[in-house]
Amino acid sequence: MDPALIAHHDVFPAARALASGLTRADLRRLLRERRIVRLHRGWYATRLPRDDADLHRLRVEALLAEYAGRAVATDASALLRLGIATWRPDLRCVHLELTDPDTNRHRKADLVVHPYRPAAPLLLPRPTSGTVHPAVAIAAAGLRDPRAFLVPADDALRRNLVTATELAVAVDGLGRRHGAAGVRAVRDCCDPRHESPGETLVAHLLRLAGHELDPQFVVPGTGRWTRGGRGYRADLRLRGTRVLVEFDGRVKYEDRQALWEEKLREDRIRSLGWVVVRLTMADLRDPAAVRARVEAAVELAAA
């Protein structure tokens, strides 16, 4: 029998497989043939995961089914299930939150089941999606690091999955939990104009260095080179300067023509007296070097 016939969301329990006629020897054979993957004690997936994040999502599906409505996903587990951007999530550990105040929380090496937390009416859990409210998940993820709050917050705001009010209420709901102060410190820095996690991280680093920013800045005088006179947009402008900061993702340019057009765009912008600083995710591993490059650009622009 094909295990996919008894799976829901690509996962199934061993008990259902045995009840459907498969034997434990069949399950071991399917594991050897890589037709199924073990996710958790007594749970399997009917396909190979695409990557570690996909494996985590499959484990979330299995555990939600095991808890059968008594828990919903939270923290990065909820964000991954909802398709919201994350920053360095701990993919080894699934985070669930109980829906019943009378059920005891518990922790294992690969699973944390958080206690039931009453939510504000604006932020009620979403059992149909198997998660807490997205704003609650974003706030919880930020307890580990403020950047783990900013990245999903910007993404969810840009895609209209949450509102600024919902995020503010969720952050207030963290109370005095460890890490809550760091989330509150960056709550007002969320901005839907950041179009990628990289832009969010660059903006955060530059704000820490004391810069005020204008995201998605339309460069004056470039309308003549664009369709409809819209002008070129830069990821960030350092307010009060002629310095633009651009974040380059790994797959920003799909072909050589796109790369040439980007070079032409930048040459035109520089010809108008702007200084452009280009950063990649690798650059962000050395914040001091990024700050030095940006300060040098500010001095050059001023000169």
Q: How many CA atoms lie within 13 A of 198 on its CB side?
A: 17
**Three-state secondary structure string covering 213-242:** EEEEEECCCCHHHCHHHCCCEEEEEECCCC
Q: How far apart (Å, rounded) are the C-alpha atoms in residues 58 and 27?
A: 18
The sign of the dihedral angle between the CA atoms of 103, 106, 111, 112 is positive
Long-range Cβ pairs for the range 252-258 (8 Å, 24+) = none
Q: How far apart (Å, rounded) are the C-alpha atoms in residues 53 and 31?
A: 20
Q: What is the phi/psi pair of residue 219, to 5°?
A: -75, 120
Q: How far apart (Å, rounded) are the C-alpha atoms in residues 300 and 157?
A: 35
Indicate the pTM of the whole model: 0.93
Q: What is the CA radius of gyration of the chain?
A: 23
Residue 37 is predicted with a pLDDT of: 97
Residue 106 is predicted with a pLDDT of: 77
Q: How far apart (Å, rounded) are the C-alpha atoms in residues 230 and 216?
A: 12
Question: Which tokens is 33 given?
Answer: 């043939």
Contacts of 106 (CB under 8 A, 6+ apart): 113
Contact 49, 99 (CB under 8 A): no
Q: Strand, coil or helix: what is 45?
A: strand
Residue 258 is predicted with a pLDDT of: 76
The one-digit pLDDT tens for each residue of the chain (303 residues) are 788 999 999 999 999 999 999 999 999 999 999 999 999 899 999 999 999 999 999 999 999 999 998 999 999 999 999 999 999 999 999 999 999 888 777 788 889 999 998 888 889 887 778 999 999 999 999 999 999 999 999 999 999 999 999 999 999 999 999 999 999 999 999 999 999 999 999 999 999 999 999 999 999 999 999 999 999 999 999 999 999 999 987 655 566 777 888 889 999 999 999 999 999 999 999 999 999 999 999 999 998
Residue 256 is predicted with a pLDDT of: 76
The two most distant CA atoms of the chain are separated, in Å, by 78
Q: Strand, coil or helix: what is 116?
A: coil
Superfamily of domain 197-302: VSR Endonuclease (3.40.960.10)
Q: Strand, coil or helix: what is 192?
A: coil
Tokens 């832009």 sit at which residue?
199
Residue 252 is predicted with a pLDDT of: 54
CA 294 vs CA 206, 233, 247: distances in Å: 9, 19, 13
Contact 122, 166 (CB under 8 A): yes
Long-range Cβ pairs for the range 101-109 (8 Å, 24+) = 103/70
Residue 191 is predicted with a pLDDT of: 98
Contact 207, 191 (CB under 8 A): no
Q: Strand, coil or helix: what is 210?
A: coil
Contact 89, 80 (CB under 8 A): yes
Annotated domain spans of the chain: 1-48, 50-189, 197-302
CA 102 vs CA 68, 117, 168: distances in Å: 16, 11, 28
Residue 56 is predicted with a pLDDT of: 98
Q: How far apart (Å, rounded) are the C-alpha atoms in residues 60 and 40?
A: 10
Question: Which tokens is 231 given?
Answer: 């002008």
